[in-house]
Structure formats: C-alpha cells, structure tokens
Amino acid sequence: MTTVDIPRTVAGTDPRTGLTLRPAVAETRPATVAQIIEAAEAVAPELAALGRGGRAALLRGLADAIEARRSDLVTIADSETALGAPRLGSEITRTAFQLRFFADVLDEGSYLEATIDTAADTPTGPRPDLRRLLVPIGPVAVFGASNFPFAFSVPGGDTASALAAGSPVVVKAHGSHPGTSQLVYEILAAGLRSAGAPAETIGIVFGRAAGETLVSHPAIRAVGFTGSLSGGRALLEAIGRRDEPIPFYGELSSLNPLVVSAAAAAERAEQIGGAVIRSVTGSAGQLCTKPGLLLVPAGADGDQLVAAAASALGNAPVVPLLNDRIHRSYVHDTAVLAAAPGVLEVARASREAESGFHVGALLVTADAPDVPSVVFDEYFGPAAVIIRYRTTDELMRVLKSAPASLTATLHTGSGETPAELVTALGRVAGRIVFDGYPTGVSVSWAQHHGGPWPATNSFHTSVGATAIRRFLRPLTWQNAPQGLLPVELRDGSVDIPRRIDGAIHLPRTGTPRVL
C-alpha cells in the first residue's frame, strides 16, 4: 500500500463573491523552508559585498521592475483583495517610492552611524582607537500583511529596508493574496538577477506552518510582522522557544484616538464630521492608522459633529473586506459592540445582504467617563466609536484607559495650545497628528510608524528612514589596521557623515549646511 502525499495549498478568495480563486499555491514544506533560508544565509556576504552603491542600484532596479508590471499586478491584486484599481495603483507607486527612498538612505549613508574615536589619554587611562559601524544582522523573516498586498508585503517596506541594510529576506506570503505574492516575487527575483545580485537574496514561503518554521530557524536574525495581536502573540511565543532570542518587530493593533476639542467642534463640526468618516471608511477601514476612537465633546457642537459623521457614513463607499476571517470578525465583533450596554448605534450602512465579504460601516457612541471596555477593542473594518466627554478630566481618563496606539490626533480651535493634552497623547502613541487625520503615512526621514505595546512591541518603526535600523547591529573595531576596516571607517575623506572624536563631520561631496 502506498500513500500519496498531496501538498496542502493556499488559495486566494474573491472578496466580492467569496469564491475561491485558482490556481492555488502549494504550501511550502518545512524542508523547503529551511533550504530557502539557508540559501538566503549563504548569499548574505554577496549582498553585503555589493556595498551601499550596489544595493542602492539594486533597489532602484527593483522599483523599476515593479512599476513596469503595474497593470498585471493591479489586476491580480484586485482579484484577491478587491481594494480597487486606484488604491492598488497608488500602492504600487508607494512601494516603488519606498524602494527608491531606501536607495537615497544608502547614498546619504549616515544610517551607518560611522563613528571614530582616535586613540587618546582619558581620566580612565589610555583609550585605543575605536571605530564603530552598523553592519547587517543576517537573514530576516518578513510577514506580508493582508491589507497592503504590495507596500507591506513581499516588496514592501520591511523588504526594502532589510535589503538596504544588507540583510537577505525570506517573506511569508499572506494567505489573502498568494497569487499577487507569487507574481511580485517572480518580478523581484528577475530584478535581482538583472542587477547581478543572487536570486536567493529574497525567498518566499506559503502557509501558516511555513511561517512558524521560518521564525524558528536559527539562521533567521529578526522578524518583521504586520498583523493581528493574536497572530503577533503566536509568533512571539514561537520566538520565545528558540535557543537564541531574536527581535520581533511587530505591528499588532491600534485604536488611533482622535480628540476634538470643544473649540474645534465649535469652529468646524461639519467639516471634521465628514472628513473623519472618510478616514474611517477608506480602504473599508482596513488600515492600521484608522481613527477608531473619536473623542468628541458633549453638547450642541459635538452633536452637530456626530450628525455630520452619521450622514457621511451613510454615503461612504465601502469595498468588501479582505477575507473571510476579517469579515467574520467584523460582523461578530461589531454586533457585540452595538449591543453593549452604554453603547448607542448612531449610523449604520446596511450592506450585509450583498455578496462576498461586503459589510456595513458602523458608528456608535458612548458617554464618558464610564465607558464599557468593548469600546477599547480594535474593529478592523469601517467602524468607529465616538466617546462624548464633558470635561478635560473625563477626556484624560478615557485616554488613560485606552491601549497605546500608532497615532493620536488632536483637533484644536484657532489659537488653542493644550500642552498638557499633547503630552498625554504623546505618552500613548508614536505619532501625534494636529488638525488632520492619521491615515496616510508618508515615507520620509522624520516618519515614525510605531508606538507602545500593543501598537508595536518595540521602539522601532516600519515606515521611514529609520526602519533600516531594525536590520543592523553595531560592530566596533579596536586598533584595526586600515586595510581591515570597512571603507566607511578608514582615515581620510569619505562620502558619508561621520562622528570623529565626538563631533559630526559632513562629507565634502554632500551638501553641508549650517543652520
């Protein structure tokens, strides 16, 4: 008797119909996962040897390669995510921009933190020549996100920043878009070969079991993850079982409180009420920075804001949710929310009858100070909770009870400068947004996309220049001969900023400016 070992598969689902898409992709077997990781580890020296210039050219080549296949990518991603061609097209633009941005970060070079202390006498005795640089940590595991099939998935910010750092990447494709993941992986692999880099620099694996194998493998040196709190907890536990702990850069859950001051409500209730709902319902509310907890003053101005929001919610175009799990959670959890004592439903767009994973947007209110704890859960989808507060003290108490977030937003009246409130918001978030909306996370030098637990579990960011820091480690050379130092640490002129004996020196070829 023989048994036939039929591999399990990962298939996408059309969110508009709920029907399974073909072809399915095979789950990656544990032995294959290990081979992919070990191949990535083996080529790590080659990636490092490309140097900053070589890796910058590589990243720009990958950006070009993705943009050249924009139409194919949008088509397959839309079939698997239903996010729509405009949003997916702009996500490809963002993804290419990120890759090119990290090429700029490499060109500029201060991410290396090159530091030279020349030999000297000190109060503690003679100091040797010490030279410090950040070096690649080695192969990195990246978990694709359901809600960004490009920008936070196979070719996303984690991959871009890890490659920039000089660390190979093995991506665990998200089950919501296996076809998109496979296609974009093939484009990247071809791009690597065109740039003269080993194709093994980026690997891809499919299936939940492959993800656990991935984070458990001793050659993996860090994990980048964007997903649910429960998924993140499970990976943290798998990491905890390793012989050697490794950093877990997780982005897990975020309420993103948005506070409207009494003066702001008095000045522009209508405008804020409409705009905040666009932020809540964009991409069907499936954004990690969706403002899910709105703090609005009690009274007539606040009432007007709530009415404007309720009206906007009814008219908001809402695409179907990404997958069955998110759909079921949203339907179940928002039903619990709306039925909770102390919670009042103020608007609901009734789309439950439609096919696939369509849902209705939902807006509820509760009155401070004694709000039910259910308002502090994240509802991934087009739902928001409005808390009505009467006093600053009530507002502060609600903020203190809420979990920490990626962002906190404050709308103020003209001339209003509530320093104490801003300090309180800064304690529970990684980014404070003034008189705006937290969705839309610019890729730039000063961006921070992180926050205290459970927003993320670290002090690092997954968006912006400093995301590269996650995939580097410091190394110091003591009394090294010039020839054995990395070029960035040698004597003489270099093309990057360096700290020498405590003072920053700018490169002659750069654009040194004194403010």
Binders in 460-489 for a second copy, by CB under 8 A: 461, 464, 466, 472-481, 483-484
Query: Per CB under 8 A, does 235 bind a second copy?
Result: no
Q: Output 68 or 504, the one with its CB closest to a second copy.
A: 504
190 near 27, Cβ under 8 Å? no
Tell me how far CA of residue 359 lies from CA of 204, 293, 392, in angstroms: 32, 19, 35
Query: Per CB under 8 A, does 303 bind a second copy?
Result: no
Catalytic residue among 41, 108, 288, 488: 288
Binding test (CB under 8 A) with a second copy, winner from 99, 116, 310, 349 = 116
Residue 20 CB, shortest distance to a second copy, in Å, is: 33
- 238 CB neighbour count, 10 Å cutoff: 17
Q: Output 39 or 236, the one with its CB closest to a second copy.
A: 236
Q: How far apart are CA 210 and CA 29, in angstroms?
A: 7
**Of 214, 155, 158, 200, which Cα lies nearest the Cα of 180?**
155
Q: Output 144 or 464, the one with its CB closest to a second copy.
A: 464
The residue ranges of DSSP E strands in 118-226, in sequence order, are: 120-122, 125-127, 130-136, 140-143, 169-172, 202-205, 222-226
Distance of CA 432 to the CA centre of its chain: 17
The region of 25-33, 183-191, 196-204, 507-515 touching a second copy under the rule CB under 8 A is 507-515
Q: How far apart are CA 247 and CA 225, in angstroms?
A: 11
Query: What residue has token string 């239903």?
Result: 82
Distance of CA 351 to the CA centre of its chain: 29
Binding test (CB under 8 A) with a second copy, winner from 2, 124, 230, 373 = 124
Is position 244 annotated as part of the catalytic site?
no
Residue 397 CB, shortest distance to a second copy, in Å, is: 17
**Of 486, 444, 457, which Cα lies nearest the Cα of 113?**
486
Which letter does DSSP use for residue 342 in this model?
T
Is position 113 annotated as part of the catalytic site?
no
Pairing status of strand 125-127 against strand 120-122:
antiparallel
Query: Per CB under 8 A, does 23 bind a second copy?
Result: no
Q: Which two tokens stand for residue 359?
A: 């849902």
Query: Per CB under 8 A, does 132 bind a second copy?
Result: yes
Which residues from 73-92 bind a second copy, rule CB under 8 A? 90
Q: How far apart are CA 344 and CA 374, in angstroms?
A: 12
Q: How far apart are CA 13 and CA 9, in angstroms?
A: 13
The region of 2-10, 293-301, 366-374, 446-454 touching a second copy under the rule CB under 8 A is 446-454
Query: Per CB under 8 A, does 272 bind a second copy?
Result: no
Which residues from 408-427 bind a second copy, rule CB under 8 A? 417, 419, 422-423, 426
Q: How far apart are CA 14 and CA 312, in angstroms?
A: 28
Residue 398 CB, shortest distance to a second copy, in Å, is: 19
Query: Per CB under 8 A, does 440 bind a second copy?
Result: yes
Query: Per CB under 8 A, does 234 bind a second copy?
Result: no
Q: How far apart are CA 395 and CA 368, in angstroms?
A: 8
Query: Per CB under 8 A, does 501 bind a second copy?
Result: yes
Query: Per CB under 8 A, does 443 bind a second copy?
Result: yes
Residue 392 CB, shortest distance to a second copy, in Å, is: 16
Q: How far apart are CA 375 and CA 199, in angstroms?
A: 47
Residue 449 CB, shortest distance to a second copy, in Å, is: 8
Q: How far apart are CA 133 and CA 116, in angstroms?
A: 9
Query: Per CB under 8 A, does 263 bind a second copy?
Result: no
Query: Per CB under 8 A, does 317 bind a second copy?
Result: no
Q: Output 335 or 504, the one with its CB closest to a second copy.
A: 504
- Residue span 374-413 as binding mask against a second copy, x where in contact by CB under 8 A, dash where not: ----------------------------------------
Q: Which residues are catalytic?
A: 251, 288
